[in-house]
Structure 1
């Protein structure tokens, strides 16, 4: 039986020297497998950082473009609300048709210089700037004219006795046409993107004589006077 050791009050317990952990080998002393794993992990982190760096400007650019397009659309709508009763429906529609035709023509010219690299479309600096301005100006001219004027005129242009039926037919025709353009654009862009914008610009230009000849001005007229 081991004899118990007595310790005086206030006497400190002898401390053991701490056992130090040996540092992990690194550099030339490290195990080849450890060095290879560390190198692969470091390269994987660097690859992820490079991937995020490449994708961040593109996603930020798309978000900024969507934001600016929304702001321009709102500005154009406010302009239409302010002037639709001041200058009339037909002048706004004519301004919008002319602006959209010019914008689409500029877009057609810009995309005639497109280059496909890895499935992505790229434009030279000048044409890219013109294409961006043309896209935003098209949104602006549409929002300040046809985006508002069409719905205002549909509620005013038809006689009272057949207004509801013709309004339904006109609205249905407009949505069907919108669907046809949306559904056909991918095929047309694969055929010829610049040519597609030329076709759209021609239709925008043709709307000018159509408005001048067949669209009446409804500003300041009572619904009962439309016959």
Structure 2
């Protein structure tokens, strides 16, 4: 693992896995396991947390969604990001004389904290309210009660790209270069930083073994 390099094939596999997980989340109600119903202000649809509906096994689907698509991802996020921070801090400790490495360590730490907080802001309110509704079926709820959490959940896809662009210079440089047809109109500083950061990452990953 100390010589691991993240390559294009790993990115493709990650994307494929993400789409498979998305399908296992979104497709079952289309085939009779639970169902979609209007939620909140009735301007969007969501999983039916409101009724038991034994004929479509609604209870089992809600439990499945809560465990597989919230609790497990939450655990994986905390586990992976904590390991990432430990590895980055170990690399920074071994190269204390390198200002670039120290700056990269602070940047990664800040970005990880922001990403974890954004995930919690997006999904904890939705999961909490959905489970509360599921556990108190038959109780009347106002439309706003589910609208606000649903808004945060549906905006989750927006946050990660914005966080990467704002907090990661290498990602920002690649984005600018791609949008501007291969050229960076803001100069070479971003590109130089990106190359330096990549070299630092390569050295760190080859020298630091996982904790």
Question: Which range, TM-score by smaller chain?
Answer: 0.3 to 0.5
**Bigger Cα Rg:** 1
Q: TM-score, normalised by structure 2?
A: 0.37
